[in-house]
Amino acid sequence: MERIYIVEDQMIITLDLQHMLEDLGYEVCGISPSYHETLNNIEVVKPDLILLDIFLQGDKTGIDLAHVLNQNYHIPFIFLTSHTDDQTVKIAKETQPRGYLVKPFKLNELYAAIEMAFGRT
């Protein structure tokens, strides 16, 4: 079973996302609302994939975290965001995410994005 870590600072979205993932048969191996908490946890839980909000609590963003994930952990991630402006998409694209899901999304969209990130259809 694939282990997915959620990085999202809005608890209502986090809980909904957790239920969606569990309904799809994935294991939620951790949840964090911030950059620093995520870095403290991912070495321990070793997720297969991270669902990563772009705008987080604190001074660091999901974009900052994405750079660290690429450089130090090589854990794939999918961005979750409600922002589709050119600047946000351009900056996000530079981190080479496995996907970019726009909130609100549906269960089948989440499933498709995750399966594509894992290289399956």
Domains and CATH numbers, the chain: 3-117 (3.40.50.2300)
pLDDT digits (tens, 9 = 90+) for 37-68: 999 999 999 999 999 999 998 999 999 999 99
Write out the two tokens for 7: 């990085």
pLDDT digits (tens, 9 = 90+) for 58-110: 999 999 999 999 999 999 999 999 999 999 999 999 999 999 999 999 999 99
Distances (CA, A) of 33 to 47, 90, 109: 16, 23, 23
Predicted TM-score (pTM) of the model is 0.95
Q: Do the beta carbons of residue 24 and residue 49 sit within 8 Å? A: no
According to DSSP, residue 73 is labeled: I
**CB neighbour class for 32 (10 Å; exposed up to 12, middle 13-18, buried from 19):** buried
According to DSSP, residue 57 is labeled: B
